[in-house]
Amino acid sequence: MSPPPWPPEFPLHALLLSAAAVAIAEIGDKTQLLSLILAAKYRKALPICLGIFVATIANHALAGAFGSLVAGWLSPQTLKWIVAVSFLAIAAWTLVPDKVDDAEEASKLRSHGVFAATVVAFFLAEMGDKTQVATVVLAAQYEPLWQVVVGTTLGMLLANVPVVWLGARVARKLPLRAARYAAAVLFVGLAVWIVAR
C-alpha cells in the first residue's frame, strides 16, 4: 500500500480524504437532487436522512469491499495507474450535470413509507454513480476499509442532509457549477499526486 497524503501517524487520513472527496463530488449529483425531491414530496426530514444513511452505508460497503478485493489482485504499479486514470475519469464525470431519473421510482415506493422509499430509491440511484465509483477507487488505494466506507458515507451525508433539512431554498443557492469544477480539480489533483509519488 502506498503512503497516505497525511503523515502516517495521522490515524484518520483515509476517512477524511474519502469524506472530502465524496462531499465535493456529491454537490449537484443526481442523489442530491433526489434528496431534494424526497424532501419536497414527503416533508419528513428525519426518516429521509436515516434512509440516506442506511442506503449509503450498504451501497458503499459493497463498493469498498469490491475495491479492496481488486487491490489484492493487482501489482502496486498497475493499481497506481488504474487509480490515477479512474480519478481522471471521475474528474471528467463531475463536470457533467446530473438529472434525476429515479423520482418516478421514489413515487412508486411511497406506499411503503418514507424511510423504505428513501432507502430503495437512494440505493438504486447510487448504483454506478460517480460517488460509488469513487468509493471503489478510494478503497483500492487506501486502508483501513472501514475508514473509506465511513468517510464516503459521511461525505454523502454532509452533502445531502442540509438539502433535506433546508429544502429547495438552500438547494437553489448552491453554486453547482463551481462545485463541479472544484470536485474535478480535487480528483485531478489526486490523480497527479498518485502518479507523482
Task: Give per-residue pLDDT as tens, 139-153.
Answer: 888 888 999 999 999
pLDDT number for residue 197: 65
Angle, vertex CA 108, rays to CA 103 and CA 111, nearest 5: 125
Q: Delimit the domains of the chain by residue range.
A: 13-196
Instruction: Please determine, for residue 47, whether its predicted confidence score (pLDDT) is greater than 90.
Output: yes
The total number of residues written for the chain in this structure? 197
pLDDT number for residue 88: 76
Helix (H, G, I), strand (E, B) or coil at 67: helix
Instruction: Please determine, for residue 45, whether its predicted confidence score (pLDDT) is greater than 80.
Output: yes
Confidence label for 21 from pLDDT (cuts 50, 70 and 90): confident
Mean residue pLDDT of the chain comes to 77
- Over residues 166-195, the pLDDT tens digits come to 875 555 565 656 666 766 776 677 677 667
pLDDT number for residue 43: 78
Q: In the chain, which ranges are E strands?
A: none
d(CA 20, CA 151): 8
d(CA 28, CA 178): 10
Which H helix or E strand runs over 88?
helix 76-94
DSSP 74: S
| CA quadruple 192, 193, 194, 195: dihedral sign | positive
Instruction: Please determine, for residue 49, whether its predicted confidence score (pLDDT) is greater than 90.
Output: yes
Tell me which residue of 26, 70, 4, 9 sits closest to 162, measured CA to CA: 26
Phi-psi sector, 100: left (phi>0), alpha (psi -120 to 50), beta: beta
Confidence label for 1 from pLDDT (cuts 50, 70 and 90): very low
pLDDT greater at residue 53 or residue 101: 53
